[in-house]
Amino acid sequence: MEGYNWKWRREGRMAQVILENGEDIAHLAELDKKNWSAISMPVKGVRFDGRTLELLDSDGDGRIRTPEVIAAIDFLKAKNVDLDSLFHPTEEDEKKLADVLARQADVAALPPGKADAKALADWEAEGKKPEVAVLGDRTAAGEAALSAVEGIVDAFFAPPEDMPLVTEAPDVSLPLRDHLNPKHLEAVMAFAEACAKPILGEATESIDRVGWKKIKAAFAPYRAWLAAKPVVNAGKKAELVEEERVLRYKLHLLEFLENYVNMRHLYGDIATFQTGTLRIDAKEIHLCFHVDSEAAHSALSGRSNCCVLYLKLTRPSEKAERSVCAVVTAGPVAQLYAGRNGVFYDRDGKDWDAVVTKVVESQVSLLEAFWTPWRKLGEGIGKTVKKFIGEKQTASQAKVEATSQSAQAGSAAMASSVAAVGIGIGMVSAGAAALMGMIAGMSPKQIAISIAALILVVSLPSVILTWFKLRKRDLGAILNAGGWAINRPMYFSMKRGRVFTVCARNPLFWRCFATVVVIIAIAVGGWRVWKVHEECKARDCQAQCAGKTCEAKAPEAAKPEAAPAPAATATAAETPAATATAAETPAATAPTAATPASGTTDVETKEGKTI
């Protein structure tokens, strides 16, 4: 970063350097090593040109480190190669490479010169010495058998890191026939016949740590002799190797840098460490990695917060076996379990039978996190009910067996089982009745609010925790478990996860989902219409009641003086003379009868009577 203007892009929530021209590559030595995505990687287990990796691995230790990458760039600069040409490989370069390989084959077929012939003769004479050819003519076969099992036997005799200086347990020994892993049985038996018994004695049935070291020491001179074999026509071969190195770097070095300095291919295309595609459980899983040891790999992959499947691959037509792991980044994972079968397609298009051998479980989607508490709740209720019924049934059977030894004991036990089932059904019925009783006393609005609150209380915490966990998924832990030295986290989003794992579309699910949404919408709309109808009905009733009250009060307001009428009657009764006079004069009574019974008429009549 010092002195050079780097360009950056954000991938996986991390800033990664952009390599877009030869100047960027030429200044990679100046880039702070803390900003490199990887600082070391294994040569095996990646999909890349093997010869280029071999040339990059200058010390031949099976790993490529940052200084070796910078040395490759310096080599191109020393050869005056235009680094911009790395971004535009041509067919002409491929033709030149093919020509160089053909010339290398021709040089290998050339007879050695006088100096080379003498060197070869001396070397062959050295190989015939007894201390070198420890088994005579069978030395080569013995060394091949030793090389075939050397790695696994070294691991068998390797002491634990925390092993104390003195232990009470006896030292381990390796049997050469019995109790062996069938996977290595043939190789160990061949080693025993071709190497162990000739060195330690024909009666050898097992070897201990001392015997193993003795065998390796016996073949050390022979191995040193093989490594010292003189190279015939070394000058011409070295020149051709230089030409090959230039051409292979021009064709492949940029791709290597984009899978080492940054991870552009992982987030944009396909990375070198992706070994193929797994098809299983209606999914296409593209994040598949090579695995050497399932136990060692799975011990570290849990730190990735990813759901990881470990699979054993077999190809019967070629009698080939291998192991891979697949990272599931989308879709449900409940149906992914050890023993499930799938098909793996490697980068060459070959299909392999795949069997899941182990599952490192982790949440993959928010939808699954939403339903997980409910599924666990249902499982817990089911276990509780099953346990309760089982206890009741056991108690009933014990009681029957204790009280009756007659021939009817079997039927009584059956009756106890039926009674236990009846108790279970009664419990469920009682719970359902209590729930319906609670719901019956609630309005539709209260029911909807209660259901929403229950869903939030149960599912929302799980969804929130899963959301944070999904943001912490790190592929760097997977690669570290595979031998890479990943320098920075390799996060990925949920959107990117749906690219890494492609799930089959489920039209039935979406149809059911749409149907449920429509039903809920109709129910809510119907409830709303009913609510509005009830409110309008209530308002109409209030209006009608108000109208009837007004009509009932109107006649009372129209007769304010009707109360004094009895007094007039009483007065008339008390004055018979006036009544008689009124009866004798019909002319005076007639107008009163013809006049409407109004307040004014009453007053006038009253006044007339008073007068």
Secondary structure (3-state) at 482: coil
Given a cut of 50, is residue 446 above it in pLDDT?
yes
Q: In this predicted structure, what is the pLDDT of residue 512?
A: 59
Q: In this predicted structure, what is the pLDDT of residue 403?
A: 64
**Residue 320, amino acid:** A
More confident residue, 293 or 367: 293
Residue 430: exposed, middle, or buried by beta-carbon count in 10 A (0-12, 13-18, 19+)?
exposed
Question: Strand order of the sheet with strand 288-290?
Answer: 288-290, 320-328, 307-315, 351-360, 341-346, 276-280, 283-285, 501-503
Q: In this predicted structure, what is the pLDDT of residue 605?
A: 41
**Mean pLDDT in residue range 272-291:** 91
pLDDT, one tens digit per residue, over 544-569 is 766 666 555 555 555 555 445 444 44
Ranges of each domain in the chain:
8-107+233-268, 134-227, 276-362, 367-472, 509-546
Given a cut of 70, is residue 172 above it in pLDDT?
yes
**Residue 129 to residues 8, 56, 146, 200, 504: CA-CA distances in angstroms?**
62, 36, 20, 20, 67
**Mean pLDDT in residue range 375-403:** 72
**Mean pLDDT in residue range 515-544:** 69
Given a cut of 90, is residue 419 above it in pLDDT?
no
Given a cut of 50, is residue 311 above it in pLDDT?
yes
More confident residue, 416 or 185: 185
**Mean pLDDT in residue range 566-589:** 41
More confident residue, 229 or 374: 229
More confident residue, 554 or 326: 326
Q: In this predicted structure, what is the pLDDT of residue 332?
A: 81
**Mean pLDDT in residue range 298-314:** 89
The fraction of the chain above a pLDDT of 90, given in percent, is 26
pLDDT, one tens digit per residue, over 215-233 is 999 999 999 999 888 888 8
Per-residue pLDDT band at 574 (split at 50, 70, 90): very low
Query: Where is average pLDDT lowest: 87-101, 220-234, 374-388?
Result: 374-388
Given a cut of 60, is residue 591 above it in pLDDT?
no
Q: What is the DSSP string of 301-338?
A: HGGGTSEEEEEEEEETTTTEEEEEEEEE-SS--TT--T
Query: Where is average pLDDT lowest: 71-80, 114-123, 431-440?
Result: 431-440
More confident residue, 438 or 249: 249
Q: In this predicted structure, what is the pLDDT of residue 598?
A: 42
> Taking Cα atoms as reference points, which of 68, 18, 26, 22 lies closest to residue 43?
68
**Residue 24, amino acid:** D
Q: What is the mean pLDDT of the chain?
A: 79
Measured distance CA(55)–CA(61) in Å, rounded = 12
Per-residue pLDDT band at 256 (split at 50, 70, 90): very high
Q: In this predicted structure, what is the pLDDT of residue 100?
A: 92
**Mean pLDDT in residue range 183-192:** 88
More confident residue, 276 or 386: 276
**Mean pLDDT in residue range 536-542:** 74
**Residue 505 DSSP class:** P
Measured distance CA(281)–CA(113) in Å, rounded = 64
Residue 479: exposed, middle, or buried by beta-carbon count in 10 A (0-12, 13-18, 19+)?
buried
Given a cut of 50, is residue 140 above it in pLDDT?
yes
Q: In this predicted structure, what is the pLDDT of residue 601?
A: 43
pLDDT, one tens digit per residue, over 494-524 is 888 888 998 887 665 555 556 666 666 676 6
Query: Where is average pLDDT lowest: 212-216, 259-263, 528-532, 534-538?
Result: 528-532
Per-residue pLDDT band at 597 (split at 50, 70, 90): very low
Q: How far is CA 27 from the centre of its chain?
A: 38
Measured distance CA(215)–CA(157) in Å, rounded = 14
Q: In this predicted structure, what is the pLDDT of residue 576?
A: 41
Q: Are strands 206-208 and 320-328 parallel, antiparallel or unpaired?
A: unpaired
Given a cut of 70, is residue 142 above it in pLDDT?
yes
